[in-house]
Structure 1
Amino acid sequence: MTLRPLLLATLLASPLCHAAPVWLSIGDDGYRLLKQLAPASLSSAQHSLRNDSGLQASQRSLATSTETVHLVQVDDSLLPALSEAIHQQQRHCGGYMVHTSLASARQSVTASARSSLAAPVAAPDYTLRQQARVNALLPQLQESNLLATIGSLSAYQNRFYTTSHGVNAANWLYRHWQQLASRRSDIKVEQVSHAGYPQKSVIVTIPGRSKATEVVVLGAHLDSTIGNTSENSRAPGADDDASGVATLTEVIRVLAAANYQPQRTLKFMAYAAEEVGLRGSGDIAARHKKQKANVVGVLQLDMTNWQGSAEDIYLYTDYTNAAQNAFVAKLVSTYQPALKVGYDKCHYGCSDHASWHQQGYAATLPFESRFSDYNPHIHTSGDTLANMGNQAAHALKFARLALSYAVELGQDGSTAAR
C-alpha cells in the first residue's frame, strides 16, 4: 500500500525539536512503510522470529508461525510519522522497537527469539490459592474511580512524550499515586527519567515479604498521540491508554487501602513514550535484566474500555508466554465466569509487553477486543470518554482481572520448571 502524497507530507512535518539517530527493530510490514517515508533507510540485518509463543504446544499448527524483523537506523524525528503511517495504513499499533545501538538491537532480537522458543525456565506454580482474599477485594473496585482517572488524564491537551503536557500528566500521576499510597510507609512511588526526552515513567512498588526478590509487573502506557503531535495538538487518549493507567490506578487504590501485603514484590508501571517504539518500557525492562531482576510475570494493559468484539477479554498469542496466558485465562474463568475469552495476534512490538518478552520475561497482553475491532477513535482527537459512552464498565472487567493477577501471583507459591 502506498502512502498518499498529502498524508506523507503531513506526517513528515515532525514537531520534534531534536534529532538523533536511533536503531529500530521493525516488522516486515512496518519496514515497507518506513521505506516510503525514508527511502534511504536500509535494513542492516533480518531475523525470522516465531510469533506463536503465547500458544500452548497443542494449539500450534504444524507450520511454525514466523515474522521477519529488520534492524534499521533512522532519525528519531521520523518516529511519530512512522507510528502514524503504521496505524493508518496497516491498522496496527506499534510495529517497531527503539534501541540505542545496533549491538543493542541485535541483542534484543536474539533474546526475543530465545523467549519465543519457550525453553524451560523457572516459572511460578500457577495454582489458584487466593480465592477468599481475591473475592473479598473485588467488590471494592469502583467504576466511578476508573472514570475519574480516565477523565483527569484525557483532560490534558495531550500526553505526548516531548510536550509540556506529557510531562505534566506524568507529574500528576506521580502525585496521585503518592496520595493513594500515603498511609503506607512501605509503598514506594517514584518517577523514572529516560535519556532523550522529558516525559518520565511512574512506578509504584509494594514490597514483598518472604519472596521479595521475585517481582510481578503490571503496566500500562502514559503517553498519547495523534501521530504528528505538537505542543498544541489535541490527543486525549482516553482509551489509548488512559483506560489502562486508570485500571492500574484502581487496583493500587484497593490494595493500598486494604493494607494488602504480598509475598512477592508488586510493581505497577505507567510507561513513557510507548507510542514511538516502546521507549519507556524498553528502558525499564533492560534495566531489570541488567540488574538480574527475577521478574516472574508481566501483565500489560493497553486499552481496556472499548468492547468492539463479542468476547470480553482477548489474550494476544504473539510475543507472549503460553503458560502465563493459560493462567490469565484461568483467572478470568474463576473470578469472572460470565466473561468470554478470545485469542488474537497484534504483530511485532505492538505494546509494552514486547519489551519484557524480548528480555526473556513471561508477559501477557489482555486486550479490549479482537485486533481488527479495537477502538476506531484512537490516535485522533475523538479518543474521548464521550465516544465510549461516558462509562468504564469494560475497563472494570480488566481491573478485576489485574487485581486477581496481582494477588494470585503476588502470593508465596512454589516455583517450578515449566
Structure 2
Amino acid sequence: MKSLIPVSLLLLSTSQAFAEQNKAAPKDRELWITLGTEAVAPMRESFKSAGWEEPTAVLAKDQVSVFRVKESQLSRLATLMHERFNRCAGFITHETQDEAVASLQPAPALAPQSLVTYTLDNATTVNALMGSVLETNVRGTITSLSGYSTRYYTSQGGVDAANWLLAKWKSYVPASRTDVTVELFRHASWAQPSVILTIRGTTLPNEVVVVGGHLDSINSSGGNAPGADDDASGVASFTEVIRVAMSRNYRPQRTVKFMAYAAEEVGLRGSKEIAAYHKSNAINVVGVLQLDMTNYKGSSSVDVVVITDYSNSAQNTFLRNLITTYVKIPQGNSSCGYGCSDHASWYNQGYAASIPFEAPLGSDNPYIHTASDTLSRSGGTATHALKYSKITAAYVAELAKGTAQ
C-alpha cells in the first residue's frame, strides 16, 4: 500500500522525535493518577532517582492509590510500568483530584446479560465479513501508521496520524451510506484527537457496540516511536473490518462505533474521556471490544488470550465461544493488572468490556515502547493480526447482528 505519510514526518530525526515526545505542556500541568498498590514503591523509587520529590498518596482504597503528579512525569511512569510490570499504561490519569478519588468507587456493572442475549445465530453475516478480510490491507495500515516517527499524544505526528486515519476511514464509506459518520473526538487538554466511525443501527440504534484500540505511541527512552505492534496492529486489525463492512454493505441492527483512542500510553486519557461522555449522556453501550497489540505471536501453544481481570466475565465467555465457533484458533486466559489498556476505561464506567490479546502476559512483544517496535519484529507480515480482524468481525456480527451482502 502506498503510504500517505508526509515526507517531512518520515525525515524527522531521532532527536526531533525525542523533543516532540518529551516536551511538557506549557505550564507542566498538575494532574492526578490512580495506581495499583504493587506499583507504588517502584514509582517512588523511580521518581526519587530522577531527582523528583517522592509523591505522597492522597487516598488509598481497595489496592488502588491516588497521587498528584506533573504532566511531564507521565512518560517516566509509563516507562516504569512497562519495564517493571509489562503494562501499557498501567495507571489512569485524571484531570482533578475529585475525579481521581471518585474513580476509587467504580460504577456498578450494568449487567449486560440482562440487556443483550449472547447468541451465535448470525453465521451468514459473520462469514461474509470474516471471509473478506485480507492480510495485505492489515499490513498496509500497520506500515503507514508505524511510518510516523512518533504518534505521541502531544506531538504533531500524533495529530497527523489521527487525520490520516480519519481520511482513510472516510475513503471506505460510499456516498450512499448516510447512516455512517466519521469524525474526530477532540480533547481539550492535549493535541491528538481520537477518531470515531459510527454505523447507525437499523432496528436497535440506541444500543451501541464499541470496538477500539489506541492510536498513540511512546518510546521509553525518547526517540522514534513507530509503535507497529503497540498499537498500530490493533487499529489495523479493526480498520480492515471497517473496510469489509462497507464493501459488503453491512447493516447492523445495533449501532457500531469503531474508535482509535488518543493518549492511552499516558494513563488511558482518551478512552477515559470518551467512556465518561457515553456514561454521562446515558448512551446504552451493550459491549466493548479492545484490541491492543495483535501482531506478535509470542506463544507456540495459543494464538489469543482473553484477559480476565478488569473485564466482564459474561462477555468474555461470549468472546471465547466466538473464537471457538468461527475463528478456530487455540486460545487461553491471562491477566494484565490495573489500568493496562483502554478496556479499563469502559469497565470503570460499568460497561461490559473484553480484550483479546496477542499472547500470554510475559510472552508478548518485548520490543514495545522502543524504536524497535517495527513490523519486522512480527516477521514483516500481519498474519497474526489478521486473526484479530476475524475475531472482531465475528464479535460485531454476532453482538450487533444485522446483514451483509
| TM-score (ref. length: structure 2) | 0.89
Q: Encode CA deviations 1:227-286: one digit per residue, 9 max, x unaligned.
A: 254xxx211100000000101110000001111111100000000000000000000000
CA distance in 2, matches of 1:143, 1:82: 35
Secondary structure at 1:35 match in 2: helix
Q: Which residue of 1 aligns with 2:252?
A: 262
Q: Which residue of 1 aligns with 2:154?
A: 162
CA distance in 2, matches of 1:90, 1:198: 28
Q: Which residue of 2 aligns with 1:293?
A: 283
Q: Encode CA deviations 1:73-129: one digit per residue, 9 max, x unaligned.
A: 1111100010001212332222110112222122222115x34xx868733100111
- Correspondence 1:213 to 2:206: yes
Cα offset for 1:72?
1.0
1:196-345 aligned within 5 A: 196-229=189-222, 233-309=223-299, 310-337=301-328, 339-345=329-335
CA distance in 2, matches of 1:228, 1:391: 26
Contact 1:80/1:228 (8 A) holds in 2: no
- Correspondence 1:150 to 2:142: yes
Shift in CA distance, 140/377, structure 1 to aligned 2, threshold 3 Å: same
Q: Which residue of 2 aligns with 1:393?
A: 383
What letter corresponds to residue 44 of structure 2 in structure 1?
K
Q: Which of residues 4, 17, 24 is equivalent to 1:16?
A: 24
Q: Encode CA deviations 1:119-174: one digit per residue, 9 max, x unaligned.
A: 68733100111012211222210000001000000011110001111111111001
What letter corresponds to residue 319 of structure 1 in structure 2?
Y
Cα offset for 1:353?
0.1
CA distance in 2, matches of 1:32, 1:181: 49
Flag structure 1 segments of 5+ consecutive residues without an equivalent.
1-9, 49-67, 413-418
Q: Which residue of 2 aligns with 1:63?
A: none
Q: Encode CA deviations 1:32-79: one digit per residue, 9 max, x unaligned.
A: 22212144311111121xxxxxxxxxxxxxxxxxxx110111111100
CA distance in 2, matches of 1:228, 1:22: 22
Shift in CA distance, 348/385, structure 1 to aligned 2, threshold 3 Å: same
Q: Which residue of 1 aligns with 2:365?
A: 375
What letter corresponds to residue 47 of structure 1 in structure 2?
K
Cα offset for 1:384?
0.6
Q: Which of residues 41, 55, 58 is equivalent to 1:41?
A: 55
Secondary structure at 2:179 match in 1: coil
Task: Give the alignment's Cα RMSD to 1 decimal.
Answer: 1.7
Q: Which of residues 178, 182, 193 is equivalent to 2:170?
A: 178
- Correspondence 1:88 to 2:97: no
Q: Which residue of 2 aligns with 1:358?
A: 348
Secondary structure at 2:218 match in 1: coil
Contact 1:30/1:96 (8 A) holds in 2: no
Q: Which of residues 33, 36, 50 is equivalent to 1:27?
A: 36
Shift in CA distance, 39/30, structure 1 to aligned 2, threshold 3 Å: farther
CA distance in 1, matches of 2:266, 2:39: 13
Q: Encode CA deviations 1:370-389: one digit per residue, 9 max, x unaligned.
A: 01111011111111111211
Contact 1:14/1:81 (8 A) holds in 2: no
Contact 2:221/2:370 (8 A) holds in 1: no
What letter corresponds to residue 234 of structure 1 in structure 2?
N
Shift in CA distance, 349/159, structure 1 to aligned 2, threshold 3 Å: same
Q: Which residue of 2 aligns with 1:60?
A: none
Judge which range, 21-30 or 276-285, deviates more: 21-30
Q: Which residue of 2 aligns with 1:415?
A: none
| Aligned positions, number | 375
Secondary structure at 2:392 match in 1: helix
CA distance in 2, matches of 1:162, 1:155: 17
Q: Which of residues 83, 104, 107 is equivalent to 1:109?
A: 104
Secondary structure at 1:110 match in 2: coil
CA distance in 2, matches of 1:14, 1:147: 29
Cα offset for 1:14?
4.3
CA distance in 2, matches of 1:26, 1:269: 25
Flag structure 2 segments of 5+ consecutive residues without an equivalent.
1-17
What letter corresponds to residue 318 of structure 2 in structure 1?
F
CA distance in 1, matches of 2:111, 2:396: 25
1:48-67 aligned within 5 A: 48=62
| TM-score (ref. length: structure 1) | 0.87
